[in-house]
Amino acid sequence: MKALITALILAVSVSGCIHNLDIETPIDNFPIVANTADAYTFTVLGNDANINRQDNLNFSTDVVVASLTISNYGAGDGTLRITDSNGEIIFEETLNGDKVVANAELAGKLPQSVAIDMTDFSGHIVFAFSAKDE
């Protein structure tokens, strides 16, 4: 399972390097989330999206790798934060332009929750992180 998630992260990172993707989806502003043991993914095609969500995580290791791709950015802003059990931020990125963050290792802390906040966001976001195979 970890190998599959790692492959997904790498595939998303590579495909995220392409600008102006022609993405079709039946539902704008509807986040798709997979939250399983030692893995989390979030994707949304925003069209002036206002999303504020926080998800509790189920990680058993502090060896975690993350990937974030924002493409077709049009407007708005936001933040993505991962915190540990003490509320300390161990990963944070702004959501305000096209970007690719690949293979970012978290700060050696056990992820406890993820918060994603967007205001009037237009663009495509794919975020994934999972336990890293050693």
Upper half-sphere CA count for residue 127 (Cβ side, 13 Å): 22
CA distance 3 to 30: 27
Do the bridges between strand 39-56 and strand 113-131 make them parallel or antiparallel, or are there none, so unpaired? antiparallel
**The pLDDT value given to residue 98:** 98
List pLDDT tens digits, range 23-74.
Answer: 455 489 999 999 999 999 999 999 999 999 999 999 999 999 999 999 999 9
Strands 99-105 and 32-36: unpaired
Tell whether 91 is covered by a domain: yes
Assigned domain for 24 exists? no
Nearest 5°: the CA angle 1, 52, 3 is: 10
- Would 26 be classed as within a structural domain? no
Distance of CA 111 to the CA centre of its chain: 13
Contacts for 133 with CB less than 8 Å, ≥ 6 apart: 2, 3, 6
Residue 116 located in a structural domain: yes
The range of the structural domain enclosing residue 45 comes to: 2-18+32-131
Residue 27 belongs to a domain: no
Q: What is the pLDDT of residues 78-130, one digit of tens each?
A: 999 999 999 999 999 999 999 999 988 887 889 999 999 999 999 999 999 99
CB atoms within 10 A of CB 93: 17
| Domain annotation covers residue 48 | yes
Amino acid in position 34:
A
Within a domain: residue 57? Answer: yes
Question: What's the CATH number where 105 sits?
Answer: 2.60.120
- The number of distinct structural domains making up the chain is 1
